[in-house]
Chains A and B, each alone.
Chain A
Amino acid sequence: MWSGRRGLLRPLGCGVEELRCRRREREAALRKARREQQLVSKRLLRDEATEEAEEGCVVVILGEAEIQEFLRLAQRGIEEKERERALVSLRRGLQHPETQQIFIRLEGSIRTLVGLLTSNQALLQLEAARCLHELSHSEQSAVAEACLPATSYLLTYLSGHSSDFIELCLYTLGNLIVESEAVRRQLLPQGIVPALAACIQSPHLTVLEALGYALSQLLQAKEAPEKIIPSVLGSTLPQHILQLLQPGPKLNLGVAVEFAWCLHYIICSQVNNALLITQGALTTLGLLLLDLAVAVQRTKNAGLELLVCPVVRCLSNLLTEAAAETVGGPVHLRDERVVAALFILLQFFLQEQPSLLPEGLWLLNNLTANSPSFCTSLISLDLIEPLLHLLSVSNVVSVLVLTVLCNVAEKGPAYCQHLWPGLLLPTLLDTLALSDTEVVGQSLELLQLLFLYQPGAAQAFLQQSGLQALQRHEEVAQLQDRVHALQQTALHG
């Protein structure tokens, strides 16, 4: 999945605390960006071998004259080694934003670089591509957009055979794609979707991961639902994506992560999910979920949450489609292993990434809402108590847990019977002691169902000082009607 060469976490004397701090800052910046709907990230691919050789070298800002000299040597040097070295020096310089600025303002520089990219000197081609890649990674729009003249060639090379080169072209394209709608308006007519559809048949995992990245960037675009996703759905890409997500020994984590996110962007855009279902998306994703639940028990710190998250999202959203009722696979067949798997993953989230718990519970809601079968699975697999244990995590999680419990309870007495007595009553009384209106509100809903379907529930509630617990909320606007109703039921039956 990750090669050492993608490492950007070069210690360089950074302490652990500094790294954590940097991570917190980045996280905050990303949250802000997402709220402004500007969440874009570029991927930088730097060769580890090259990095090692360059360790200790400070990235120097190159001036105009130096850049021109390097370009001249690269283009017209006599010896191939000399030409290559010139490009390597240029590439190193281009790691610095200031060099990038100088470079793009130099007349003819991009043209020369594109010329080298399309030359038939293999190593020069590679170095020229690396230069372009550095430029594409820039956060300055002007720098990234300077790469536009190269896009038709980058796309042409996707049908080639050199996997390293194709990988580089893909990451460069992926970076350019997120740059602006203007760039995408050029790439789409240039045929990026058919080019990717052809390239996805490559057997090279590095190429596939890069392709998944580029495609995910394309699908994440704001205009994707109208302008991009329809043509992606019309291509052979979805079938190949689903194939790459098939669980089994051939599943590669890095590749799967990228394509799972691709699928998520497609599905949550709700363009034509029925098509994906007919292509077997629900079946594949259901089986993959089972596989992941096994995997998380086996491997520690594998970054599996990066794959579990989009898979959960895809499944959950697909379940809401009408077409979901008509297909096979573990989900449709109400295979209780799906519920077992989900709980193992919930436990995994609790340990590794608690912020993802709501998403897992959302899937559980969508599985249980209209399904007596899955509700029964929760009971037959003894999962009610573990579910109750999640109530202390956060308000959002609590609301979702209570919703799932309501899904079970609303199916009638046969279900409520299994919810009672156990920990449910004391737990509910605890939640009533909270002040979050939504949590309390959902607890009241559950209580109504229990009073309705479970004989003795109201009685036990009274005996455990339930009325006092309710009193706290008598004055709260959103709660008072329900509080009074419950008080009446408890007292008068």
Chain B
Amino acid sequence: MQLPPALHARLAGAPGAAAPLPVQRDHLAGNAPFRFAARQVRFPREHEFFEDGDVQRHLYLQDVITQVAAEPERPRVPEFTCQVAGCCQAFDALEDYEHHYHTLHGNVCSSCKRAFPSGHLLDTHILEWHDSLFQILAERQDMYQCLVEGCAEKFRTGRDRKEHLVTHHLYPADFRFDKPRKGGGYVAGLAEAASWAQQARECADSCHLTSRPASQVSTEAPGEDQAPPEGDAMEVCSEHAEAHPEPPRERRVYGHRIPSTICFGQGASRGFKSTKKKSKRL
């Protein structure tokens, strides 16, 4: 198919068009037995007209077709360590560091050092755990916001919210980012967080490294796969909590659940050493 040489130049030229030729139809055109009528055609999604193109698309998805312009290789860099205070993790690729940083140091609550997967969950946590005004307002109005982005529903209690998450959004009943806080008041500030963490650390030294839910104190049978993972520190308060520090019994319970803020060599931030005044959000 030979295209006129001027065509390519025309494409590169300015927008525009020649004046349209005059239209002049005869009523006999398209008359029976003829049937032509100029008209636009639309094809719905499943029409067989699209078969070839669809097949090409899926071959591409299945990665069978020859590939195109390769992405640049991931650069390896000289090993470096995470710069966050107290974190000693080393990396030789920026992407690994990025993931580490965002998982452990991004979206971290400056009050209790818990890390969250998103800014949205962090904001909700700060509001419900560290904002004294929240508890007061919650007595009078629906303050517990639905955790699903895009859902504007609010609830009177954390329990109601959980109910909504499960029935309306089909979330699992044990959604890890909506764990009820067991015992103890909300953590009001840095100092309190520090002492609580200190207690936990002391207990941790003598405890087995796995976490157990606060209610389980006995050891689990070996080889069991049902145990929840270590260090689930991403919690959002879903119960109205008292404002008093935990009784001694509760301390022991906390000791079993090692918060991620305690670094056993790698990963989490050891931020309590810093006494700088920080805003609530890092």
Q: Which residues on the A side are within 8 Å of B20 (C-beta)?
A: 334, 372-373, 375-376
CA distance A151 to B236 in the complex (A): 19
B120: min CB distance to chain A, Å: 6
Asked, given contacts A30-B55, A313-B50, A390-B1, whether A412 binds B225 with beta carbons under 8 Å apart, the answer is no
Bitwise, A1-26 to B at CB < 8 A (1) or not (0) is 11111111100000000000011001
Partner of B36, one of A68, A109, A270, A406: A406
The verdict on A62 contacting chain B, using a C-beta distance below 8 Å, is no
Residue on B with the closest CB to A65? B223
Give the contacting residue for A118; candidates B39, B224, B232; CB below 8 A: B232
Decide: B56 and A445 in contact? CB cutoff 8 A: no
**Cross-chain contact B229 with A39 (CB below 8 angstroms):** no
B19 contacts A by Cβ under 8 Å = yes
Min CB–CB distance A93 → chain B (angstroms)? 16
Give the Cβ gap from A8 to chain B, nearest Cβ, in Å: 4
- The stretch that binds B, out of A430-438, A447-455, A466-474, is A447-455
Tell me if A373 and B22 are in contact (CB < 8 A). no
Q: Which of A115, A120, A225, A356 has the most B CB atoms < 10 Å from its CB? A: A120
The number of residue pairs between A and B whose CB atoms lie closer than 8 Å in the complex comes to 385
Query: Which one of A23, A301, A317 lies within 8 Å of B64 (CB-CB)?
Result: A23
Chain B residue nearest in CB terms to A406? B36
Q: Report A176 CB to chain B, min CB distance, Å.
A: 14
Q: A411 to B24: give the CA distance in the assembly, Å.
A: 6
Asked if B234 and A120 sit within 8 Å, CB to CB, the answer is: yes
What is the minimal beta-carbon distance from A173 to any residue of chain B, in angstroms? 15
Cβ contact within 8 Å between A337 and B11: yes
- Interchain CA distance A409-B100 in the complex, whole Å: 66
Of B118, B234, B265, B268, which contacts A159 at CB under 8 A?
B118
Chain B residues in 8 Å Cβ range of A445: 30, 34-36
Query: Across the interface, do A120 and B267 meet the contact criterion of CB distance under 8 Å?
Result: yes
From A418, which residue of chain B is reached at the shortest CB distance? B21
Residues of chain A contacted by B119 (CB below 8 angstroms): 159
Cβ of B210: which chain A residues have Cβ within 8 Å of it?
Answer: 75-76
Does the CB pair A149–B172 fall under 8 Å?
A: yes
Q: Say yes or no: A191 contacts B227, CB within 8 Å.
A: no
Q: How far is the CA of A257 from the CA of B57 in the complex (A)?
A: 9
- Complex CA gap A224/B106 in Å reads 36
Cα-based distance from A101 to B232 in the complex (angstroms) = 28
Q: Which A residues touch B38, using CB under 8 A? A: 368-370, 406-407, 410
Given contacts A121-B267, A390-B1, contact A380 B18 (CB under 8 A): yes
In the bound complex, do residue B11 and residue A156 qualify as a contact, i.e. CB atoms below 8 Å apart? no
Minimum Cβ distance to chain B for residue A254 (Å)? 8
- Taking CB atoms, residues of chain A closer than 8 Å to B150 are 191, 193-195, 197-198
Residues of B within 8 A of A95 (CB): none
**Contact present for B43 and A340 (CB under 8 Å):** no
Provide the A333-348 mask, 1 if CB < 8 A to any CB of B, else 0: 1111100110110110
Is B2 in the interface zone, CB < 8 Å from A? yes
Q: A303, B100: Cβ atoms under 8 Å?
A: no
A382 within 8 A of B: yes
Known contacts A9-B64, A376-B21; A448 and B11 CB within 8 A of each other: no
CA distance A42 to B11 in the complex (A): 38
Q: B41 contacts A362, CB within 8 Å? A: yes
Binary contact track B29-52/A, C-beta < 8 Å → 1, others 0:
110111110111111111011111
Give Cα distance in the complex from A7 to B62, angstroms: 10
**CB neighbours of B54 from chain A (8 A):** 30, 34, 39
Known: A118-B229, A189-B168. A1 touches B7 (CB 8 A): no
B70 touches A3 (CB 8 A): yes
Determine the distance from Cα of A194 to Cα of B16 in the docked complex, in whole angstroms: 41
A97 beta carbon closer than 8 Å to chain B = no
A162 within 8 A of B: yes
With a cutoff of 8 Å between Cβ atoms, the chain A residues found around residue B234 in the complex are 118, 120
Q: Are B53 and A359 in contact (CB under 8 A)?
A: yes
Shortest C-beta distance, B214 to chain A (Å), equals: 16
CB-contact partner of A412 in B23, B61, B63, B102, under 8 A: B23
Within 8 Å of chain A (Cβ to Cβ): is B26?
A: yes
Assess whether B266 is in contact with A362, with CB atoms less than 8 Å apart. Answer: no
| Known pairs A161-B106, A313-B53, A356-B53; A119 contacts B232 (CB<8 A) | yes
Tell me if A449 and B29 are in contact (CB < 8 A).
yes
Say yes or no: is A82 at the interface (Cβ < 8 Å to chain B).
no
Asked whether A449 and B36 contact (CB < 8 A) given A41-B62, A108-B225, A125-B103, the answer is yes
Instruction: Write the residues of chain B forming the contact surface with A, with a CB cutoff of 8 angstroms.
Output: 1-4, 6-8, 10-13, 15-26, 28-30, 32-36, 38-46, 48-71, 73-74, 95-96, 98-104, 106-107, 115, 117-121, 147-151, 168-172, 175-177, 209-210, 223-234, 260, 265-268
Sampled A-B contacts (23; CB under 8 Å): A2-B67, A3-B70, A6-B67, A76-B227, A111-B225, A111-B226, A123-B96, A159-B119, A165-B103, A191-B149, A269-B44, A269-B45, A337-B15, A346-B1, A356-B53, A368-B38, A382-B7, A389-B1, A412-B24, A415-B23, A418-B21, A445-B30, A481-B33
Counting from the closest, the 6 A-B pairs by CB-CB distance are A194-B150, A108-B225, A115-B229, A481-B33, A3-B71, A159-B118
- 16 more contacts with CB within 8 A, not counting A122-B104, A191-B150, A268-B43, are A2-B69, A4-B70, A26-B64, A34-B51, A76-B230, A118-B177, A122-B100, A125-B103, A159-B117, A198-B150, A269-B44, A336-B10, A336-B16, A337-B11, A375-B21, A412-B25
